[in-house]
Amino acid sequence: MDDDPSQFNVEQGSEDLPELNSSHGAGRSNLQTLLNLLAARTSTQSSVLMGDSRIYAATAMANLLSADHDLDLEGELGTDDEEDADYLDEDEDEVMEDDGDEYYATPRTVFTYPPATTPQAAGVHLIKSGEFGRVGPKIKARKNNRNLAAVFNNRLTNPHPVVYKEDYAANIVPNSNGVIVANYDANIYTAQYSNDSSFFYTCSQDFRLHIYDTTAPPQRAMSRADVTQDQPQTTMNLNRRIQGQHGRWTITDANLSPDNDRIIYSSITSTAYMCSTKEDNPVQVPIPFHDSPGVHYGFWDSGPGSFGLFSCRFSADGNEVIAGGRGYIYVYDLLANRRSVKILAHADDVNSCCWADTSSGNVLVSASDDSYLKVWDRRSLGSSPKPSGVLVGHTEGITYVSAKGDGRYVVSNGKDQAMRLWDLRKMRSNGEYERTAHIEYGVPNFDYRYPSYPRPRYKAHPLDCSVMTYRGHSVLMTLIRCHFSPTETTGGQYLYSGSADGRIHIWSLDGTLVQVLDRTKTLPIRADPSGVEYSRTARRNNGSCVRDVSWSPEQPVIISAAWESSRHGSTLARHEWKGLSKMSNSLQDWEEKRRQEQAETAEGGSSTRRSSRIQQQRLRRLLMPGMYFSVDDDDDEDM
């Protein structure tokens, strides 16, 4: 018998199966094996492959998916040269059931739509609407007038100075690839600043919670040999270490109370836990969300009342908790010590839920693996257990939803590799949702836990009601999270997300990418986070997956939590805004840009009639950030 897998006979027995090789050089051989098996099936006109042959085919496919090689499947199997379209249906005016037999997902592909390269009209309208902070600084920024010295100089000479933090902080976006500030032995699932930025907290798969004091100066990192089992290696000031109650698999979510005195966390069980942040060994207070508080279920029991919680959030006053699990969302009244709301919300797991605003607890938002977000008004749940509206647009499950806090806007991450911005005033009615709820618009058998996403059948749901869509990141491997930038300093005009490709993506509201921070270029823990951003001679690793990201409400600083496949743990990295003097090669890049703009000016030098205002705008673009430039009084008026 020939041991060449490409010449394998489908009739041979399992005892003669050669061992498949999944090394770098065997990828093309495994692919040829699959093609030969299919050809043999066709030639024998058999309806199914024999049992051993099917096992062999599955093994070959597994080798293809797991092998670390650069096999060009598109080159081997052919490519689809058709242009991308929102929908593949001929009639875009009518929503029809698709024929699943006509669509086959191509394995080992990661399909993504590129991000917008020009500002989108809907996003520009949002920027100028006044709902995302002060309009004046944004208009000046779009004219490249970002001179901080001029802002402060004009305020000092004003007889009635009024300085808004957003005036000088709105356009300062973290731009460094960061420095590691903590090494964990377990995967981090939540990593967030407190509302007042005085604390930073994490929860991890080893059921430990860590709370850091961000007001304290950094400290020298301990060596790995001196670090205890329950303490990460860190340069941050570790304020509290809390050992959580063990549940299933991991702590799925954690949230700090508005007063920073309590923290709540959930696991893949029906009971969440709350404890104090002021004590080293706090009492763990159980918060049961199941129907029978007195019944104990086994560790892997999936009977009535046993389910997992994937999300939990304190209300604005800290007196209630919202949680989401197996198709349900719940609200627990901490003062009355009872569950006050139970809603069968979705046809699949609820991965995330939140309160829509910070002023009241009436409006709830849930996001599910059924690809829909639903909006619930507690004031009307008594008369009808139906949602007030449905946010339709994603074609795959939703990993996370975050509210701006004004009761109007929320942002969500989807497994369709898109982040969408929603206006609750433009949601679909429940009737519109029910007419298409039975139709599947996603990729059949797609599993986001693997690093593969084939070309989708639909770019968006036919009833898409999202305001804006943001692309360029990868929502795979885990439930990647997304957020609004801080309202206090930026007006919420930026959106940012982690990504399975090891990057942090920051978008402007208009859809364009503002910054992409690369965690594979993050500096080691002993580097200075505020120092010069020197270039590494080699990439640190290629296996980072950024699950959660948090932007400080007070400073242009982002802390990201990334899973590191190379060391089977996770890391926290601090990303700061740095000027040209601290950015590697930035001065040379700026000089090259200046020369190009001067060349453009020389080409148009034949036109001598240029207004002084146009000349001033061109000069502003040539100035380095922070340089003073005198402006007219009418050009600096608050808008």
Percent of the chain with pLDDT over 90: 53
pLDDT at res. 204: 96
Q: What is the pLDDT of residue 39?
A: 53
Euclidean distance between the first and final Cα of the chain, in Å?
A: 82
The residue-averaged pLDDT of 265-286 equals: 94
User: What domains can you pick out in the chain, each with its CATH number?
Assistant: 5-71 (no CATH), 121-167+585-636 (no CATH), 245-520+541-565 (2.130.10.10)
Query: Is the four-CA dihedral 424, 427, 430, 436 of positive or negative sign?
Result: negative
Q: Name which of 131-140, 156-165, 189-198, 214-223 the model is least confident about.
A: 156-165
Tell me the one-letter amino acid at 105.
Answer: A
Q: What is the pLDDT of residue 83?
A: 35
Predicted confidence at residue 15, as pLDDT, reads 35
Q: How many CB atoms lie within 10 A of CB 504?
A: 25
Give per-residue pLDDT as tens, 356-402.
Answer: 998 888 999 999 999 999 999 998 887 678 999 999 999 999 999 99
Residue 135's pLDDT band, with cuts at 50, 70 and 90, is: confident
- Banded pLDDT at 557 (limits 50, 70, 90): very high
Q: Between these two residues, 514 and 170, which has the higher pLDDT value?
A: 514
What's the pLDDT score for residue 533? 78
Q: How confident is the model at residue 66 (pLDDT cuts 50, 70, 90)?
A: very low
Tell me: the pLDDT tens digits for 74-129?
A: 444 433 333 333 333 333 333 333 333 333 344 456 788 899 999 999 999 999 99
Please tell me which residue, 316 or 586, carries the higher pLDDT value.
316
pLDDT above 90 (res 229): no
* 62 against 322, higher pLDDT: 322
Instruction: Provide the pLDDT confidence category of residue 1 given band limits of 50, 70 and 90.
Output: very low
31 falls in which pLDDT band (50, 70, 90)?
low
For residue 200, report the phi and psi dihedrals to the nearest 5 degrees: -130, 130
In terms of phi and psi (left: phi > 0; alpha: psi -120 to 50; beta: otherwise), the region of 300 is alpha
- pLDDT average, residue stretch 204-227: 88
Please give the share of the chain, as a percent, with pLDDT higher than 70.
Answer: 64
Strands lying side by side in the sheet with 373-377: 350-355, 363-368, 373-377, 389-391
Q: What is the pLDDT of residue 133?
A: 82
Residue 560, token pair as written in the block: 């990201």
Cα-Cα-Cα-Cα dihedral sign, residues 118, 120, 123, 129? positive
Instruction: Report the pLDDT value the prediction gives residue 176, as an integer from 0 to 100.
Output: 94
pTM (two decimals): 0.74
> Residue 222's pLDDT band (boundaries 50, 70, 90)?
confident
pLDDT value for 415: 97
What is the C-alpha to C-alpha distance for residues 492 and 496, in angstroms, rounded to an integer?
10
- pLDDT given at position 215: 93
Mean per-residue pLDDT, 462-467: 97
Q: What pairs with residue 116 in β-bridges?
A: 512
Contact predicate 307/326, CB 8 Å: yes
